[in-house]
Amino acid sequence: MRGTIFNYTLFFVAALFLLSGCSPVSAAEATEFGEFSAEDFAYESKCRQCHAIIYSDWEGTMHFNAYLDPFYLEEVKVASNDTDGLVDEFCSRCHTPIGVVSGEIPPIDGSEMSDISKLGVQCDFCHVVSGSNGTGNAPFIVSPGDTKWGPFDDSRSTYHDSEYLELYTQAEYCGMCHQVIHPVNGLVIDDTYSTWKDSHYGEENVVCQDCHMTEGITEFEANPGRAGSGAPKRDHISSHDIVGGNAFIPPMFGADNIAEMAVERLQKAATLEISAPEIAKTGEEITIKANITNSGAGHYIPTGVSEIRQIWLEVHVTDRGGKEIYSAGALDENMNIVSAKMIYNNVLGDSEGNVTLSFWLADRVLEDNRIAPEETVTEEHTFTLPEDVEYPLSVETSLNYRSAPQDLIDHLLGEETQVPVISMNEVSSTIYDPATPPEERSEESTPGFGIVPATMAIILMMYVFKRK
């Protein structure tokens, strides 16, 4: 499943790249490894004294846990071992940026890291970003000190100096980390920024912050308030939860509220429509057509490390007595997906053309099965209706998402940790006996969250960390 043999040619080339400071994305002016000390940055406890609401937004998020995330910590150890440490700084640059600019990595096990470096993407780091050298692979320029940068040109503070920087209002700020390019072969590993830029959202300048830092889920919705105590009231203050689709990690740190927000975002990302016959006779071949549309995301779904993300359609057809007539996309006892028509994600290949979930070993894309913004993909599920069914038939479909395959998590974190499967959308329908009079056919198609209400889905999701 996961490669452990690093290609020695790639190893040699990587060494030349890293020793010479070269990269597909130039960082000539970016802040370099070990340029500062951890003491140059302020702890979040100072920030929260005046910015309590913003702090409470950020606490428990994936930015908050960017370094402490146990999946990341185990994954980066494997990557470091596979590449003899060549990707240590590369991965850490976004997950513990203070650790990188303070020269505390390596070792990758964190044994030399200060407490502030373990706070992931924290307040003082983000707000001393004074510029960038482009997008991709974290080419940030930081200037720790008394000046804090942000999106307002009229901010005043008695504690620190405030400066406006347009970068904070642009998608390019997010694109520094949410565009990842292999440091050796130039393979685009995470294209969240570039797929946004190429979409109509990018063309119309609907930026990341418009969806991920507002009260809206798939569109801008103002969040009136104050950036800090004593600050002027504004029509909109950016929300700092910045939630994506990760409902897996936050509950491990007690942040169930963040997981609930992630579920809501996933449920607003895509729409599902099915077409099934209203009547069908035994022995007849039946086709159920499902249309899946990326209706709410400004980038491909799934995104991020999309080689491990999984979106798929689950279909069940049962008769009145509960007999299963057709099934696709269910999970087996080991939580593997069975007979799905398609798993919507990115399929990466290593130097020998073999499928790999280890992006650091990848040098090609074998398949890209993700769904682009506003794109609709269609699945057809066909089966023959047996002779002994009891009418009516129930058709239930669910568009599912999970952050990683279960067997990968079993390998890294142990079998007691279960990855939540989240229903992004659900639709049900009914197929009747042709002999049933039309007036006795009650249409039961239920789009949206008809099978399991969204609130119940969230409650059920909380039982994900112990294997059934």
Q: Which residue has the higher pLDDT, 390 or 2?
A: 390
Mean pLDDT, to the nearest integer, of 165-186?
Answer: 97
Q: Which residue has the higher pLDDT, 241 or 451?
A: 241
281 and 204 part of one domain? no
- The CATH number of whichever domain residue 353 belongs to comes to 2.60.40.10
168 and 306 part of one domain? no
Q: How far lies 61's CA from each of 52, 68, 182, in Å?
A: 15, 11, 26
Kindly report, residue by residue over 52-71, the tens digit of the pLDDT.
999 999 999 999 999 999 99
- Asked whether residue 136 is domain-assigned, the answer is yes
Kindly report, residue by residue over 212-261, the tens digit of the pLDDT.
999 888 889 999 999 999 899 999 999 999 999 999 999 999 999 999 99
Last residue of a domain, one of 197, 212, 227: 212
In order, the DSSP letters of 200-248 are HHHHTT--HHHHHSSS-SSS-----B-SSTTPPPBS----S----S--S
State residue 217's pLDDT score.
86
Task: Give the chain's radius of gyration (CA, Å).
Answer: 24
What is the widest separation between alpha-carbon atoms in the chain?
Answer: 80
d(CA 306, CA 189): 8
State residue 443's pLDDT score.
55
Last residue of a domain, one of 144, 178, 212: 212
d(CA 428, CA 304): 30
- Asked whether residue 155 is domain-assigned, the answer is yes
Mean pLDDT, to the nearest integer, of 197-210?
Answer: 97
- Asked whether residue 420 is domain-assigned, the answer is yes
d(CA 423, CA 451): 10
d(CA 237, CA 227): 6
Sequence-separated contacts (24+) of 198-204 with Cβ below 8 Å: 199/298, 199/299, 199/372, 199/373, 199/374, 200/373, 200/374, 201/298, 201/373, 202/171, 202/298
155 and 288 part of one domain? no
- Asked whether residue 217 is domain-assigned, the answer is no
129 and 206 part of one domain? yes
Mean pLDDT, to the nearest integer, of 181-195?
Answer: 97
State residue 353's pLDDT score.
96
Kindly report, residue by residue over 384-406, the tens digit of the pLDDT.
999 999 999 999 999 999 999 99
165 and 39 part of one domain? yes
Number of folded domains that form the chain: 2
Confidence of residue 32 (pLDDT cuts 50, 70, 90): confident
The pTM of the full predicted model, rounded to 2 decimals, is: 0.89
d(CA 363, CA 349): 6
Mean pLDDT, to the nearest integer, of 193-221?
Answer: 95
Nearest to 22 by CA among 14, 33, 30, 12: 14
Kindly report, residue by residue over 272-281, the tens digit of the pLDDT.
999 999 999 9
H-state helical runs in 285-337: none
200 and 306 part of one domain? no
Mean pLDDT, to the nearest integer, of 20-42?
Answer: 69
Confidence of residue 292 (pLDDT cuts 50, 70, 90): very high
162 and 81 part of one domain? yes
- Asked whether residue 304 is domain-assigned, the answer is yes
Q: What percent of the chain has pLDDT over 70?
A: 88
State residue 445's pLDDT score.
46
208 and 273 part of one domain? no
307 and 162 part of one domain? no
Kindly report, residue by residue over 323-356, the tens digit of the pLDDT.
999 999 999 999 999 999 999 999 999 999 999 9
59 and 147 part of one domain? yes
State residue 295's pLDDT score.
97
- Asked whether residue 186 is domain-assigned, the answer is yes
Mean pLDDT, to the nearest integer, of 279-292?
Answer: 97
90 and 196 part of one domain? yes
- Asked whether residue 259 is domain-assigned, the answer is no
Give the distance, in angstroms, between the CA of residue 264 and the centroid of all CA atoms in the same chain. 13
- Asked whether residue 315 is domain-assigned, the answer is yes
304 and 189 part of one domain? no
Domain that includes residue 274, residue range: 269-461
Mean pLDDT, to the nearest integer, of 81-98?
Answer: 96
Residues 6 or more apart in contact with residue 68 via CB below 8 angstroms: 118, 120, 253
